[in-house]
Structure 1
């Protein structure tokens, strides 16, 4: 009896320590350099996870369709390196390493939260508050040394306005749907989370990135209208207020957002589609040589600026089918989570994961660092719910403890 209590105490202690390590890793996107962030992942996340997690729990991830489809997608993309022209061994190694990191991050997220779903509120709470603080600090530091009209970029790994915009938009969605609109959250806490939403949305607006801003607006409005219509008024606080503040302060020239037209996106997408049609079934191989895409006459584009087109160019129709299947399964389980708990957060995050990658997405394992935050994290959380759901309803495979999902008050 004493041994069981001791083991239970140790497991709870390890879980509490690990959730803080995980929070630091996620918040690290907003402050740490890419190299520091990567080293932290290896030393303070992977090693503690594998040392503290029962191997039987990790093996159970094979029952998750989200994990299986992700694995098939990564394996297929690795295979496409065989027919990718102009790809060096060093690039092939780096591509395979990134793909494995995505799979490991997914395993880590799914297994940990499947076993410790009660820690999701803590994870969301501190991620929101810390990201809200860092957004204010970043805005102050940036405009202390730059002109007010310049597009703000993040610090740490988020050194691009679009990456930073997408990442802070994710924080705004979590604060809005997981905390702000829930009846059980006290008024004083609602005020705190409304400030987080305002700070995060203001950062998105100041990034002057129309893709993240539009994806955030569509996700907020659609999820609020369809699933939580009585809380639609909170959008006025969380979205309209930052827009009005930025507009009247003159920090952003909204006319320039319109006169920038489509930033050559339509031309880039058309060229990407035409190039895809030349080799539609299996693509050009992951990172393989292909006809160049041009923004202007002599200015090449770095990528297709669309997750689906980029995936199609790398892996053809086969890769497209796999990534669509992954997103469809994830959205299905996020809807199921909403029906079971009444919480629309995971569905909103999945909706944003799709919309946010329509205007600037790459193949999701080509540059996974920032996509871990606003693409793979939502998929990992939904996958954790899917795995819990399967383990609860199939006791013959439930080696890991997985009590029914209930939203904590």
Structure 2
């Protein structure tokens, strides 16, 4: 799908250049964003990949054809994000350090990523679909190589990850994203062979289990619940039944596997964070305000509340939390209304996974590209693409029917 049809007036030269960037540069940048952490080996290089192959080309495509912005901002989700980002940027005015203006670049990075996905979907929807699917395949291959290396090293302790991935929990943010993708792809009966989806899902799930992290397991359970409610069929019921049987079996074999690490001090961390939030309840401490949580039982200072929503509220107050909730509410309502479309169902599952994972981890809701993007912004970008495209197709079909 492109913006012009055969027989129409020739496109201006600048718009042709814009389309060239969208067609050849943005898919490469999208692939780098979704897979770079697996092979780049260094976080600073990963950031540079994003700047060079996605952020800058997206800005260039928009500058060459600025009229596209009007169509992009027809998306309710995109408008809601801009409102949230503007308020977050405004909060720098009352930050303890009176705000580093350079931090405004972080909301702009996310905006460029949202624009990139929307531009590809608008002009070349098959490209973003194929690129995302290729990324999921690379993720499973990376998981297989990582597991092989972990076994070769003796499989001692928790699998932490390699290269740019060095923390068990952060590693599962990315692999959990792809586990949710393969799970939803199989349950939605999208046109991908089960001989691909099920082995890919099994490999990624095995890696997640080797990390010993429970956050992705909880998030995947919520994803299964979403799939069961949104698309009740034999596959979703089979998945839920299998998980229940496995859970009961695990308790019978060794119940300490679930209880030995307790709640990892989460209730105490949240209570301390809440006390700090109450000090600036309505508008927050500001976007660059750093949180410090000192608990004797933890033994070291924590820099975040291990809950994305609490992180949002600490820096932007109740006002920011309302806008954050509005962003997710918009996404989930749209995802539910169009859940019978396989692409919307899959991307809606990714949003649910990220939302659930963010309940027990993190605070970095706006940042450079990192693991948390796979919980928040990449799922929202993909859902926005799927919803916008489905609505456009429906409107096109309605127009043909009415003229016929």
- TM score, norm. by length of structure 1: 0.81
Q: Distance in 2 between matches of 1:343 and 1:391?
A: 13
Report the counterpart of residue 216 of structure 1 in structure 2: 220
Report the counterpart of residue 190 of structure 1 in structure 2: 194
Report the counterpart of residue 326 of structure 2 in structure 1: 325
Offset, 1:222: 3.9
Contact 1:176 1:238 in 2 (8 A): no
Residues 1:347 and 2:356 aligned together? no
Contact 1:272 1:293 in 2 (8 A): no
Runs (4+) off by over 6 Å:
7-10, 236-244, 392-395
**Distance of aligned partners of 1:379 and 1:183 in 2 relative to their CA distance in 1, 3 Å threshold:** closer
Q: Distance in 2 between matches of 1:346 and 1:268?
A: 31
Offset, 1:270: 1.1
Q: Distance in 2 between matches of 1:368 and 1:43?
A: 13
**Distance of aligned partners of 1:289 and 1:222 in 2 relative to their CA distance in 1, 3 Å threshold:** closer
Report the counterpart of residue 46 of structure 2 in structure 1: 37
Aligned residues: 387
Offset, 1:124: 3.3
Q: Distance in 1 between matches of 2:306 and 2:286?
A: 18
After TM superposition, the structure 1 stretch with the greater mean CA deviation from structure 2, 356-365 or 292-301, is 292-301
Contact 1:113 1:381 in 2 (8 A): no
Contact 2:331 2:383 in 1 (8 A): yes
Higher relative contact order, structure no. (Cα contacts within 8 Å, ≥ 6 residues apart): 1
Residues 1:134 and 2:142 aligned together? yes
Which residue, out of 71, 77, 86, partners 1:75? 86
Residue ranges of structure 1 left out of the alignment (5+ in a row):
396-401, 405-409
Pairs within 5 Å for 1:243-322: 255-288=256-289, 292-294=293-295, 296=297, 299-322=300-323
Which residue, out of 201, 206, 227, partners 1:202? 206
Offset, 1:57: 1.8
**Distance of aligned partners of 1:238 and 1:170 in 2 relative to their CA distance in 1, 3 Å threshold:** farther
Q: Distance in 2 between matches of 1:9 and 1:238?
A: 52
**Distance of aligned partners of 1:194 and 1:127 in 2 relative to their CA distance in 1, 3 Å threshold:** same
Contact 1:163 1:370 in 2 (8 A): yes
Q: Distance in 1 between matches of 2:226 and 2:351?
A: 13
Q: Distance in 2 between matches of 1:82 and 1:144?
A: 52
Secondary structure of 1:95's match? Answer: helix
Q: Distance in 2 between matches of 1:315 and 1:108?
A: 27
Residue ranges of structure 2 left out of the alignment (5+ in a row):
1-6, 400-404
What root-mean-square deviation, in Å, do the aligned CA atoms of Structure 1 and Structure 2 show?
3.7
- TM score, norm. by length of structure 2: 0.82
**Distance of aligned partners of 1:61 and 1:95 in 2 relative to their CA distance in 1, 3 Å threshold:** same
Residues 1:169 and 2:169 aligned together? no
Residues 1:359 and 2:366 aligned together? no
Contact 1:306 1:360 in 2 (8 A): yes
Report the counterpart of residue 399 of structure 1 in structure 2: none
Which residue, out of 138, 148, 158, partners 1:151? 158
Offset, 1:370: 1.5
